Amino acid sequence: MAPPFFTVGIPTYNRETFIRFTLDAILAQSFTDYELLIHDNASTDGTRELVASYQDARIRYFRHETNVGPAENFASVAREARGRYVVINQDDDLLHRDFLRRCHDAVAGRDDIAMYAAPAWREERGRGYMARLLRSNEGYEHRYLLQDEILYLDGPRMATSLLNLTYYFLHPSIAMRTDLLRAAGGYSTRGDSLHDILTEARMLTRGNLAYDSRPGAMYRDHDGNEWKAYPRDLRKRLMAGTLHAIVEELEKAGIGWQALLEEEFKGYSRNDLERAVREWAWCGAPAVLVRRGVAALRSHHRGPAWKFSLRLARKLGMRAFWLSQGREEGSRQ
């Protein structure tokens, strides 16, 4: 039997309440050449029984004997995928019924595509729904959404753009080419970084991005979201680790990422730059990011250098100021 075009994988743990809706959304896909792979991370609720109630030959269920942690569970799904492309569908999020069909149409016959992505609409309790689209400096225009057009983007540049952690792609509205994912070492399990963003960067150093501006999924906002449970210091360490790891991946791939970052900055507003520099300085990102960002900010500033330095120190913090001078915070003589 020929392998399916897609593997849709669900890494899950104790989400009996949510996973039924996730399964229903996947099994209602308008494109049917896929397998549904469920990796249960030793759940103690009724997840096993719930999955068993679905009589569908496309479902493969595996249960870890002990909890292996979320990153390893994600990675095990990717390792077992038989499809040409793999989609990681978190157990509480909902895939648009046409996501697989639109992805297939965008990547079929193209060997240069490492990843397909679409916006994930975020459920905002009490506020409705919102989605994050690409910035205009990345080539996005409203006509792509209005006319259902796919935007094909240079992979190394998009990998570099992930250094701004405000703009990344959310599961499950991502499809990664399985052979390239394995060539990249598989789904990242590094404990010092955000494994989804680092995996995206690894993929984009190996091929281009097909971006579809139509909604691809719904990200559900609730008290059980993993990121919300992380304390502030852990978030800080993970953000810093992710940025250092992305730079390592870019340099290992021989990508001139600093020049690509300069191109990115040309499309940033001053507020975009300030937010990025403030975040980099706060979390402990590679100092070169802060210095490059500050240099770009100077091009937005009109006035004496001392006024700029004062503004930088006041608005972005002293750490950003010292890093911009090529010195670590506290090294002032």
In a domain, 237, yes or no: no
CATH code for the domain of 177:
3.90.550.10
> What is the chain's mean pLDDT, rounded?
86
In a domain, 322, yes or no: yes
**CA-CA distance, 279 to 290, in Å (whole number)?**
9
Tell me what the mean pLDDT of segment 266-288 comes to.
87
Indicate whether 295 and 228 sit together in one domain: no
**What's the number of domains the chain is made of?**
2
Q: What is the pLDDT of residue 140?
A: 63
**CA-CA distance, 169 to 216, in Å (whole number)?**
11
Six-digit token string for 74: 């994600």
Counting residues of the chain whose pLDDT is more than 70, the rounded percentage is: 81
In a domain, 166, yes or no: yes
Summarize pLDDT for 131-179 with one digit per residue, the tens.
555 555 556 677 777 788 898 999 999 999 999 988 788 899 999 999 9
Indicate whether 67 and 214 sit together in one domain: yes
Which letter does DSSP use for residue 277 in this model?
A: H
Indicate whether 219 and 288 sit together in one domain: no
Indicate whether 198 and 325 sit together in one domain: no
Indicate whether 53 and 156 sit together in one domain: yes
Indicate whether 277 and 216 sit together in one domain: no
Task: Indicate the pTM of the whole model.
Answer: 0.88
Domain around 28: 6-232
Mark which of 232, 259, 278 sits at the end of a domain.
Answer: 232
* C-alpha closest to that of 49 among 38, 36, 65, 34: 38
Indicate whether 23 and 84 sit together in one domain: yes
Summarize pLDDT for 71-119 with one digit per residue, the tens.
999 999 999 999 999 999 999 999 999 999 999 999 999 999 999 999 8
Indicate whether 69 and 213 sit together in one domain: yes
In a domain, 313, yes or no: yes
Ordered strands of the 113-117 beta sheet: 59-63, 34-40, 6-12, 85-88, 174-177, 113-117, 208-212, 150-153
Indicate whether 173 and 279 sit together in one domain: no
Q: Is the pLDDT of residue 20 over 60?
A: yes
**CA-CA distance, 24 to 19, in Å (whole number)?**
8
Q: Is the pLDDT of residue 333 over 50?
A: no
Counting residues of the chain whose pLDDT is more than 90, the rounded percentage is: 61
Single-letter residue type at 235: R
Which letter does DSSP use for residue 153 in this model?
A: E
Indicate whether 287 and 165 sit together in one domain: no
Mark which of 174, 207, 232 sits at the end of a domain.
Answer: 232
**CA dist 267 → 92, 312, 317 (Å):** 34, 20, 24
Q: What is the pLDDT of residue 165?
A: 87
Q: What is the pLDDT of residue 79?
A: 95
